[in-house]
Amino acid sequence: MPYTAAPAPSEQKEFLGHPPGLFMLFFAEMWERFSYYGMRALLVLYIIKGFLSKSDGDAYAIYGAYAGLVYTTPFIGGLLADRLLGARRAVILGGILMAAGHLLMTWEAEVPFFAALALLIVGNGFFKPNISAIVGSLYPEGSGKRDSGFTLFYIGINMGAAMAPLLCGYVGETWGWHYGFGLATIGMLVGLAVFVIPAGITRFIILAASVGTGGLMIWLNRNEVIYALGPNAGVAIALMIAGVIAFLAMADGGLPEWAGQPPDMEKLRAPVFGLPAETLVYVLSFAIVPVIAGVMLGDGAIGVIFSVVGIEVRLIGLLMLILGAIAGFMLLAELRKSTKIESDRMVVVLVLMFFSMLFWAFFEQAGSSINLFTDRNVDRVFETEVITDAQIGQTVTVDVTQSLNGRTMGDKVITMTDIDGWRDEGTATVDWPVSDDDVGMGVKGSEVATSQFQAANPVFIMIFGLAFSALWTFLASRKLEPSTPVKFGLGIAQLAAGFGVLWFGASAANAFGIVSMSWLLLAYLLITTGELCLSPVGLSMVTKLSPKRIVSMVMGAWFLATAFSNYLSAIIAMFTGVGHGGGGTSVLPPPTETVHVYGDVFGIIAATAAVSAVVVFATAPVLSRMMHMDESELAGGGH
């Protein structure tokens, strides 16, 4: 059975100019991302503050191993979908594995914890590349709507990513880690149901889940100040509107039957080692889970294999290097079978893949160093009552919030270690002897959970995503749209500006080492606009420039590059490690001693990204010509 292309536009039904299947995939991916980012928002905090009680360095190592592997497996999942399973079956298998992983995260014990990470790693390998490949298959060759379709799909990804910290992060930090992970499990199950249940029922599930989840987000924050309620209400309303649109779009059906089918049904059912090939893939997928869990649990997962110029390469990193070499060899082998236009286009994909890898290595600081910087050095409290001059010399009762971070209580400087300790003991208030330095300190206030700030990036994408999509369409209609390489350069330049803002914010910290949240939010805004220039365009580029016979494999290679980004990101984050103490437990110094550790690393990232942007802009004309976008030959030959 040959590769099945999308029918001509006249043969497809459309809603708002796009195939109805796009809106179903929007919600399937949205709920999967809700589950993934719900866990991501909590992971580093959980490793340090939860039952594992690890130091910063060990937490970054575990996070880096997980984040690296979760983007390594899509190469294998894409390859298996291209050659055997088809994208549809691969997505379903991945969803089942990931749902099991999120459920296991609710069990607070070391072995189940690493087994859960392994299930998520393997499941993401099947889910992530193949649902994106299905989106690309909905559009005929040469369709001018593909980029805007991927931008809409990207908004779905980020709606899930926005909901996750606001719900899973808030619930996990407020009521218990396992409750946050439990919500992520529910999200994954809904995403799986959306994908496998017939469209006539699915549209009602989408509508009910959207209205119910939106209502829950508002209800949980009903007593918070407007600054905390506002983002939740905004995302909730957007979710409800999207649910209604999807409900209407799917009135005439959902995902077409031909989308994501196996390339050869006979090959899929052929016996291999006494089992049908499809069954063997399922068995091996579950069998590899304890192997990955064992590697991460064992000393090798965080033990140093060798060191190069001070950078430690660990077992997981070595495995990714080997897999990367194999992937590169396979792609080069495919290039030898390709036409001249196909080869040029693949060179563009590989070059931009490198710069994408650099972009995400810096961007993914959000889950590690920026996350801990937010926890320890960013003012996250909206004070409703503060200490005044008249209270100097008195002892007052104050709420245990981050407002106490860096302040002196008697002879002791309070850090987040002390604040978290009080919270673990159930202490909500403490008696505070007021000194001159305490004037203006919060007595009562509404504190934003650390993990909730990770919603800033996806919320900004939801706000500006449609604007960017409309901008590209507007410029394209006037033949002024920047080329894909130029968009990449714009993305990296804005990333550099965002980290420059973080560096400046750290330099402008107050006397207690605390930074205004406005600098953090401005940095997230700039990083987000950079992402909107690069990421959805990158996904579209892979499906547009890759030969159709290997599109899922190239998509997998794209995510493999992201795997290296995540692993490199963890190495970069290790330079910000400030927790110390015996037994691996993180004991924090005062924020005045940590703020410039973070700031210096953010400054180096800003400078490196700025230089990279200049290089991309300089090479953009050559790369644009090699894309051959004005050629009649399409990237489908070379069989």
pLDDT per residue over 604-633, tens digit each?
A: 999 999 999 999 999 999 998 888 776 544
Quote the Cα angle for 467-468-471, to 5°. Answer: 85
Per-residue model confidence as pLDDT tens digits over 391-436: 998 999 999 988 899 899 888 889 888 888 888 888 889 999 998 8
pLDDT at 314: 62
Q: Residue 8's CB: how many other CB atoms inside 10 A?
A: 10
pLDDT at 224: 67
Best CA proximity match to 537, nearest among 157, 151, 140: 151
Best CA proximity match to 18, nearest among 120, 132, 140, 131: 140
In this prediction, residue 105 has a pLDDT band, given cuts at 50, 70 and 90, of: confident
Q: Residue 425's CB: how many other CB atoms inside 10 A?
A: 9
pLDDT at 361: 92
Per-residue model confidence as pLDDT tens digits over 286-305: 999 998 888 777 644 444 44
Average pLDDT of the chain, as a whole number: 82
CA 417 to chain centre: 27
pLDDT at 584: 45
What percent of the chain stands above pLDDT 70?
A: 90
Start-end ranges of CATH 1.20.1250.20 in the chain? 15-376+450-626
Quote the Cα angle for 591-608-332, to 5°. Answer: 130
Best CA proximity match to 499, nearest among 602, 572, 571, 380: 602
Sign of CA pseudo-dihedral 488, 490, 496, 499? negative
Q: Which of 56-65, 455-464, 516-525, 588-597 has the highest mean pLDDT?
A: 516-525
In this prediction, residue 500 has a pLDDT band, given cuts at 50, 70 and 90, of: very high
Q: What is the pTM of this model?
A: 0.80
CATH of domain 15-376+450-626: 1.20.1250.20
In this prediction, residue 509 has a pLDDT band, given cuts at 50, 70 and 90, of: very high
Residues sharing a CB contact under 8 Å with residue 605, sequence separation 6 or more, in sequence order: 362, 365, 496, 499, 572
Higher local confidence (pLDDT), 227 or 139: 139
pLDDT at 303: 47
Q: What is the mean pLDDT of residues 263-268?
A: 80
β 275-276/304-308 pair status? unpaired
In this prediction, residue 506 has a pLDDT band, given cuts at 50, 70 and 90, of: very high
Q: Which of 89-98, 295-304, 323-332, 553-562 has the highest mean pLDDT?
A: 89-98
